[in-house]
A and B are shown apart, each in its own frame.
Chain A
Amino acid sequence: MLLRHSGFALALAIALGAHLAAQNAAAPRPAPPPVGGCPPVPAAFHTCALEKAKTFTPPRTRSGKPDLQGFWRGRLSQSFSVEGVRGDEPLVGSDVMPWEIAPPMVVDPPDGRIPYQPWAVPIGRIGVNYSQYLDPRTACGSGGVPRLALQDANQILQPDGDAFIVWLHEDHHVQRVIAMDGRPALGTAIKVTNGDSRGRWDGNTLVIDSNNFNGYNWFDDSGNFYTDNVHIVERLTMIDRDTIHYEVRVEDPKVYTRPWTLVWAQVREKEQGFELLEEACREGQRDLGELMRDGIKFYFDPPWRGR
């Protein structure tokens, strides 16, 4: 079970990655197929999917809500960097877990780059976070929002009564409970890993509004980050029966010059009898010794603290 998951291998890659220079030219890869009838690149998918959503009528639950239930997997996504991976990135040629060339998932701003304030640039983007801190996910923490929806299998449930939506993620057995009943927000002193999430329907779109993050999570392997001040709004819209347009708007005036937006797809997992498995992490083989001896720190006193 553990080997299927990349936590340990990721730790190795971080340890070794810094010492490995580009050695191999990136091999060209075949063009991926369309997703939901839209181009398989986040920015183009985004435009196309929003257009398709205007004419698609999603299936309904018994209570008449759009039915997003089922098993899903992230598509058009990768965990290396939400800003994409370019051919001249040294890790593309790495011998251990080489990165793959990929377009950005950032669709706004149009340049595909996170609009960091100047002080934050050297911390994210394979910077201070990457070189000095242990990836929180490698430490068996939650991947965080929205990273945990990048690739691993997940399940959306719309339990009876419509007071909550449950979003289960196989990655480190993470569960998100989204309150749909208009209840008040948590007090600001209560910080939680995956935020306090409250949802609503905007037409056929599930809108999840989250605050109260503890800021201990990254967007990706590159150490791109937010703080405990972040406000995240996710929008899930079905564009056909098997494809969700997943949009994430990130707002954190402590770190960015403006709000920005990520997009990728969730596609239905259709394997017969598919179920989420228990993915214990801390309970398994977790050897952080080498990393810690190299002076890599836990991401609990992050470099944005005090900003």
Chain B
Amino acid sequence: MRQGPTNVLLAVLLSLAATPAAAQAPALSRTSDGKPDLQGVWQVLNTAAWDIQDHAARLGVPAGQSVVVGNEIPYTPAALAKKRQNFESRATADPETKGYLPGVPRIMYMPYPFQIFQTPGQVVMVFEYDRGVRNIYTNGTQHPRGPLNWWLGDSRGRWEGDTLVVDVVYFTDETWLDRAGNFHSENLHLVERYTPAGPDHITYEVTVEDPNVFSRPWQMRMVLYRRKEPNVRVLEYDPGRLMDEAGAQRDK
């Protein structure tokens, strides 16, 4: 049966309407093993580093909208009291003020760039902040036998379609989630989802689970933006060294 031009046009329109993802597919660049190519320099454009929840401006703190889905964090009553105490003493109690590695997911939304590299078995993230490195193994290996306490946890990844899914465990209880005192215990368990949303954006979702602190799992969601400047480089912000250097200047 021959189709008339109208039918062909209709078929094209229908297929476009039915499969918008397929229509966008050519824009998604891929690595040589066919995975989405997430390589490049990325950075958030939000205020999660200061406070992951809705907050008004404070001196030196830009106002911001929540990256927590639904804004509420389901703290247990005791943990909520601890969070409030953290907030009151944040000027000295925040681990960031000691120049420590900031933990995950906090390092993902520090206001500094990071770079993603991909090989078939390993995704590496290199952070300007504190020379942080995340090795995300995508070679089918499991988390090593614990217990381990690592500042950036142990990350094992897999691809679900075009989404990189990363399971992260083995944290310390000495990192926070932001400068507003949101926190977790060493039983923190994260599931991160990195989904390309066009060539220059990644949707970053993280499910946060920690029965010591939260009554149920909860989620953060934000956008990672590609740094497009020519010759953009991940430079170096080594907070510990800069603190030591400033201290040495004061003591002179």
Q: Do A and B bind each other?
A: yes
* Range for the number of chain A residues in contact with chain B: 35 or more
- Contact assessment for A173 and B131 in the assembled complex, using a CB-CB cutoff below 8 Å: yes
Q: Do A298 and B133 form a contact, CB below 8 Å, given A164-B117, A166-B126, A177-B115?
A: no
**Contact in complex: A139, B150 (CB < 8 Å):** no
Q: Does A140 contact B (CB under 8 A)?
A: yes
Q: Do A183 and B31 touch (CB < 8 A)?
A: no
Residue pair A175, B133 in contact (C-beta under 8 Å) = yes
Shortest CB-to-CB span from B120 to chain A, Å, is 8
A192 touches B248 (CB 8 A): no
Is A306 an interface position by the 8 A CB rule?
A: no
Are A140 and B119 closer than 8 Å at their CB atoms? no
Q: How many of B's residues come within 8 Å of A, CB to CB?
A: 42
Check B200 for interface membership: any CB of A closer than 8 A: no
Residue-wise, chain A 186-217 has the 8 Å CB interface mask toward B (1 for contact) of: 10001011101000000000000000000010
Most buried by B among A69, A157, A301: A157
Stretch at the interface among B4-12, B58-66, B220-228, B236-244: B236-244
Do the beta carbons of B236 and A160 come within 8 Å of each other? no
Q: Is A259 an interface residue when CB atoms closer than 8 A count as contact?
A: no
Known: A168-B124, A273-B141. A142 touches B100 (CB 8 A): no
User: Which residues, 165 to 180 on A, are CB-close (under 8 Å) to B?
Assistant: 166, 168, 172-175, 177, 179
In the complex, the answer to whether B245 meets A298 with C-beta atoms within 8 Å is: yes
A258 proximal to B (CB < 8 A)? no
Whether a CB of chain A sits under 8 angstroms from the CB of B132 is: yes
What 0/1 readout, one digit per residue, does chain A (116-157) give for beta carbons within 8 Å of chain B?
000000000000000000000001111000000000000001
Among B32, B39, B151, B244, which residue has its beta carbon within 8 angstroms of that of A278?
A: B151
Task: Mark each residue of chain B from 104 to 117: 1 if its CB lies under 8 Å from any CB of chain A, else 0.
Answer: 00000000000101
CB interface residues, A 271-307, toward B, < 8 Å: 273, 275-276, 278, 280, 282-283, 297-298, 300-301
Decide yes or no whether B185 CB sits under 8 A from chain A: no
**How far, in angstroms, from A276 to B234 measured CA to CA in the complex?**
22
A278 to B149, CA, bound (A): 9
CA gap between A164 and B118 in the complex, in Å: 11
The answer on a CB contact under 8 Å between B241 and A283 is no
Does B69 have its Cβ within 8 Å of any Cβ on chain A?
no
Q: Counting CB contacts under 8 A, is B235 at the interface?
A: yes
A residues near B, CB below 8 A? 62-63, 69, 139-142, 157-161, 163-164, 166, 168, 172-175, 177, 179, 183-184, 186, 190, 192-194, 196, 216, 273, 275-276, 278, 280, 282-283, 297-298, 300-301
Selected A-B contacts with CB under 8 Å, 27 pairs: A140-B240, A157-B117, A159-B119, A160-B31, A161-B39, A163-B39, A168-B133, A173-B101, A173-B131, A175-B133, A177-B115, A177-B126, A179-B233, A186-B235, A193-B241, A194-B236, A196-B233, A216-B241, A275-B144, A278-B152, A280-B101, A280-B151, A283-B101, A283-B172, A298-B248, A300-B249, A301-B248
Q: A184-B231, A193-B131 are in contact. List 8 more A-B contacts (CB 8 A).
A: A159-B117, A160-B32, A163-B39, A166-B126, A174-B131, A280-B151, A298-B244, A301-B252
Q: Which residues of B line the A interface, CB within 8 A?
A: 31-33, 37, 39, 98-101, 115, 117-119, 122, 124, 126, 131-133, 135, 137, 141, 144, 150-152, 172, 174, 231, 233-236, 238, 240-241, 244-245, 247-249, 252
